[in-house]
Chains A and B, each alone.
Chain A
């Protein structure tokens, strides 16, 4: 997790406007605020998490990213972050479109359903995988649209979304993802981190 924050932080330039979509209890926002001179905002669907953020003095609005991103004008942020939340949306495709409308660039991180442990779990046990990044049971998971690194890579490719950076994360180690090593990274990485733009 720490490593993910560090990579996100490295992607973001100084003196920029940043929106954290699905900012949770504001941990990433606080991390970025202390490490970067940026103007950061958040949007969070859960009441208790929104209250935690606001209690910390963070500029967070309680709202549903699937509906409430519409209030932000085009390109009103330099970076929009979506950290491990894409899979929880009813319509991830529209959310990505909105991220790229509101932000000049978007940073999207996806828990990789193609990770070998996940595949093995399903193959051997025959039940829905439960891992460090996917801790919930099939019946109570907030994740509606799980995808793999390869799925997201292809998704961007098909929609002509520019992949400025694509990194695979495993055991706190990062490595670049490209067309050639895509299948390997899709097997070996727990998390994919992408910097995308229209």
Chain B
């Protein structure tokens, strides 16, 4: 999957005790950077990616040859301006773009880990990425930010390292993964596991791939990233390159063809086991429980300035869940701003060209940089 591509990575030689009990050491953390770190080292932004994201935030992704996943937001003159800031993004552990994950070879067995890879949590991901600060000799990041699972990592990061970021921007996320979201993730996992090529997770050692299963998982998940109105407006009941229904199970409707396409391109760039591991990490995320049912306690020690952003049509991580983070922060007098952006693009709004979102983000970042 990642052959012939130059991927920067850092070998982490400090052991990390994972939440599952195992300890990992001497493992790779793949990352990419944009812009340059200034002399004062006060312009660094750590961006966390979502479930199927990677370290290639902006520019052309060398694997997919498509725009980086946050190209609308990150770049020269954009909301997160690469002319001003030094942007770092790492592939999460458990991922499949160069960081330690289930597609790596276990040096003890000389076989690909597959599902013998340890279970990873959001906490583990963040603890691994914390090493980037030492690597770049950055005492304090200007900002940590991310959407969806990236937002969860933002919350976990500030809670684990209360004095390592000046501002934090969790977007379209939650402090505790809901039953509905666990359900959707389970649907995706079961779809992968139902593929006969999955081989109990050992497919890579047998040169096989559960493409069908992974593709259906992606199709189902993709629906949850959009909104009913958005889908209706874009596709409605439009037919795919035909004048009438074919009375078959072909992709008669454009929406069917679109989803099939989304599924098929996804399997070319993503590892099925990584999908299992990362969705599991999201399901296990419950910062509220970690702090005995009181989310405020997660942020008691921090002076970090927060901006929480949600979107009106996001039903996967709805405004109400984002507001819980705001409420927990206000309960302890933390510095928190909050806006809900009007958009019919669903959960995916944070990845797309939503001018109100991008403009607010840009001005908030630039003004905050000048004042703190």
Binding site for B on A (CB under 8 A): 17, 41, 47, 50-51, 53-63, 71-73, 76
Q: How far is the CA of A116 from the CA of B75 in the complex (A)?
A: 58
How many residue pairs bridge A and B at CB < 8 Å? 58
Q: Is B258 an interface residue (CB 8 A)?
A: no
Contact of B363 among A50, A56, A61, A76 (CB under 8 A): A56
Partner of A47, one of B327, B339, B371: B339
| B367 CB within 8 Å of chain A | yes
**What would 7 more interface pairs be, CB under 8 Å, given A55-B359, A55-B363?**
A51-B341, A55-B360, A57-B364, A57-B370, A59-B336, A59-B337, A71-B327
Number of B interface residues, CB 8 Å?
A: 24
Check if B330 sits within 8 Å of A71, measured CB to CB.
yes
Q: Which residues of A contact B260 (CB under 8 A)?
A: none
Tell whether, in the assembled complex, residue A59 and residue B335 are in contact, meaning their CB atoms are under 8 Å apart.
yes
Closest approach, in angstroms, between the C-beta of A65 and any C-beta of chain B?
13
Main secondary structure of the interface of B (DSSP, over half): helix
Taken together as a complex, chains A and B put the C-alpha atoms of A51 and B305 apart, in Å, by 17
> Once bound together, how far apart are the Cα atoms of A56 and B370, in whole Å?
11
Question: Complex Cα distance A17/B370, Å?
Answer: 22
Q: Are A59 and B360 in contact (CB under 8 A)?
A: no
Closest to A44 in B: B339
Pairwise interchain contact B338-A63, C-beta atoms closer than 8 A: yes
Ranked 3 nearest A-B pairs via Cβ: A57-B367, A55-B363, A61-B338
- Can you list 9 A-B contacts (CB < 8 A)? A51-B341, A51-B359, A51-B360, A57-B364, A57-B370, A59-B337, A61-B326, A61-B336, A71-B327
**Bound-state Cα–Cα, A47 to B339, Å:** 7
Distance of A126 from chain B, by nearest CB (Å): 40
Asked whether, in the complex, the Cβ of A59 is within 8 Å of the Cβ of B327, the reply is no
Other-chain residue from A47, A59, A71 in contact with B340 (beta carbon distance below 8 A): A47
Judge whether B356 is part of the interface by a CB distance below 8 angstroms.
yes
State which of B305, B367, B370, B371 has its C-beta within 8 Å of the C-beta of A55: B367
Residues of B within 8 A of A51 (CB): 339, 341, 356, 359-360
Residues of B within 8 A of A41 (CB): 335
- Shortest Cβ gap from B197 to chain A (Å): 48
Q: Does B333 contact A (CB under 8 A)?
A: yes
Q: Is the CB of A54 within 8 A of B364?
A: yes
Verify B371–A57 contact, CB threshold 8 A: yes
Nearest residue, chain A, Cβ from B332: A73
Q: What residue in chain B is nearest A61 (Cβ atoms)?
A: B338
Complex: A53 Cα to B360 Cα, angstroms: 9
Do the beta carbons of B371 and A54 come within 8 Å of each other?
A: no
Q: Which residues of B contact A54 (CB under 8 A)?
A: 307, 337, 339, 360, 363-364
Contacts of A50 in B (CB 8 A): 338-339
> Which residues of chain B (323-372) have a CB below 8 Å from chain A?
326-327, 330-331, 333, 335-342, 356, 359-360, 363-364, 367-368, 370-371
